[in-house]
Chain A
Amino acid sequence: MDGALLFQLVLNGLIVGALYGVVAMSFVLIYKASQVVNFAQGEFLLVGAWVCWWMLTYWQLPIWAGFLFTLAFMTIFGILLQVIVLRPLIGEPVISVIMATVGLSIFFQALMKWIFGVFAQPFPPLFTVERVRVLGLEVQSVYLASLGVSAFIMLGFWWFFTYSKHGLAMRATAFDQQVAQSLGISVPKVFAMSWAISAVVSAVAGVVVGVVNGVSSALSFYGIKVFPAVILGGLDSIVGAVLGGLIVGVLENVAQYVDSQWLNWGNMYQIAPFYALILILLIKPYGLFGTRNIERV
């Protein structure tokens, strides 16, 4: 087997997987804080990427301005979604909440197609240097930047949940809402904040993917890819989400290689993560890092 090719595949997998990890993290964030399984996670990427693209192409804003505007827009977008759609559903059956997020997903996909059309649109080129050499490998600079952005977001999450007061409040709310309220934490605010952060972070991933592949409704597939990543890592573990994302990314690429060389089943790239999903559910239903409650001995 070709060593260099395998290395290239793993590297590609890690780059894409880091983005899966970022999206999975923002999915887990919502699930942990407010117990909502958000089927519209992929549409956060879609909306974010389209907004940024529109700012850069139609309004001709410089990248930093367009990007900042996108972040601000997604913050408000996330809060409004939570307040208008999800808040009235607090206390309703899980299935109603899930159906609401599925509805949001369909709605925003259609809305984006209606506004921006069905064709993929490229971002204006952002990098002057197309490729750089890393460890003897040719890597597109957008990929490198994407990896950097992912790592930055992950570090940000880690800092937020370990050191910031609001991150701790979010963890407390995830652990026990009544206790959180007794500490003076406003649970509705935490819910809104979790949706805002999730929307913003997903949108950043959306912009990155958009820069690499162009903006199209294909972006919302990331919302589906999140499931194997998240189940693999454990539905309520942020670290698990990152690792799950990386594993899924690598798995996709390696599976595709194996398939093209020996199996010839076709389309393993899309399917392999879901085989893994089924296996994980059979063997380790709480995932690699899912909650096991601490029992005092």
Chain B
Amino acid sequence: MAAQAASVTEARGGTSAPLLLEVKNIEVVYNEVILVLRGLSLAVPKGQIVALLGANGAGKSTTLKAISGLLRTEEGAVTRGDIIFDGERINGTDPHHIVRRGIFQVMEGRRIIADMTCIENLRLGAFTRRDPNVKRDIDMVFDYFPRLRERTGLAGYLSGGEQQMLAIGRALMARPRLILMDEPSMGLSPLLVKEVFGIIRRLNTDLGITILLVEQNARMALSVASYGYIMEQGKVVLDGDASALAENEDVKEFYLGGHGAERKSFRNLKSYKRRKRWL
């Protein structure tokens, strides 16, 4: 057990790609009193998919909102630590400036503009762009999501899966360098989840977009990611190569449904807690 934990930690040194995003020891407070993130650190190498996993309320969405700056729309603030994007410190920057720097958040629950058409939603994704290639890129998005091309009505009438695709397509329109994706599988059927994750992988390989992926569906997320972080109560408690994490006994037990490992007693649970990495 101990040896396995060590191998997980060592794997971190294996990623040699330069870092696109670095979150260093951040603390996030909502309404000036509620401490949500308590010294969270993570790193996203250029051109990779990194998964951020954890139970409900662990602070995953808060982490993404801290990076994209949307935290301030919810009375939250980063009170300590640094968020470094492409070598520059970006905490405290307005969300609309962060989008211009190349970070785009696909928020939880799709959040498409229901009373607009698909094309209008996509054009809004390109709001920050000034180049004349927006039309061409709309076509490109339709190539990725052919079923959106036929939907000419209001986006509010799309199915959940189509709305998720539109939300991802809208992110592509901004031509971001980093997409923060919050629970793309939420409320989708297993088949659609597979399709959406297939597309996420293609975006990464075809377009070279770096992705920080927050998911409840840990198995799916680890299958597309190269590296993973596991959060609990506002901190990273475990991290490592996605494949190593997927094989890790504790991860299997707590996040992947515990196949292969026999049910553990509370005594073992305590030992797991003690082994956590307190960064």
Contact = CB atoms under 8 A, between A and B. Distances in A.
A2 interface: no
A171 B159 contact: no
Interface in A157-178: 165, 168-169, 171-172, 175-178
Contacts of B69: 181
- For chain B, the bracket of interface size reads 20 to 34
A185 B111 contact: no
B127 A184 contact: yes
A182 interface: yes
A169 B70 contact: no
B20 interface: no
Contact of B127 (A165, A176, A293, A294): A165
Contacts of A169: 124, 127
A276 B116 CA distance: 31
A175 B107 contact: no
A168 B107 contact: no
Given A181-B95, A182-B105, A296 B113 contact: no
Contact of B95 (A168, A182, A293): A182
A155 interface: no
A283 interface: no
Query: Mostly helix, strand, loop or mixed at chain A's interface?
Result: helix
Contacts of A186: 94, 96
B73 A171 contact: no
A172 B159 contact: no
Given A169-B124, A169-B127, A294-B156, A182 B107 contact: yes
A286 B4 CA distance: 63
A187 B158 CA distance: 27
A296 B157 contact: yes
Contacts, number: 73
Interface in B37-88: 68-70, 73-74
A163 B127 CA distance: 13
Contacts of A171: 113, 115-116
Contact of B107 (A179, A185, A294, A296): A179
A294 B156 CA distance: 6
B25 to A, nearest CB: 25
A168 B159 contact: no
Contacts of B70: 178, 181-182
Contacts of B135: none
B100 A294 contact: no
Contact of B124 (A168, A293, A294): A168
Contacts of B160: 296
A184 B104 CA distance: 8
Contacts of B233: none
Contacts of B116: 168, 171-172, 175
Max chain B C-beta neighbours (<10 A), residue from A171, A177, A181:
A181
A172 B99 contact: no
A183 interface: yes
Contacts of A296: 156-160
A3 to B, nearest CB: 42
Nearest to A168: B124
B111 A184 contact: no
A168 to B, nearest CB: 5
A186 B120 CA distance: 18
Interface in A66-80: none
A183 B127 contact: yes
Interface string A8-21: 00000000000000
A179 B113 contact: yes
A294 B115 contact: yes
A185 B114 contact: no
B248 to A, nearest CB: 33
B226 interface: no
Nearest to B101: A184
Contact of B96 (A165, A168, A179, A181): A181
Contacts of A182: 68, 70, 95, 99, 104-105, 107, 111
A184 B95 CA distance: 7
Contacts of A175: 113-116
B188 interface: no
A181 B111 CA distance: 12
Interface string A182-217: 111110000000000000000000000000000000
B225 interface: no
- List the 4 closest pairs (A to B, CB-CB), nearest first: A184-B99, A294-B156, A184-B128, A181-B95
Interface of B: 68-70, 73-74, 94-96, 99-100, 104-105, 107, 111, 113-116, 120, 123-125, 127-128, 154, 156-160, 170, 174
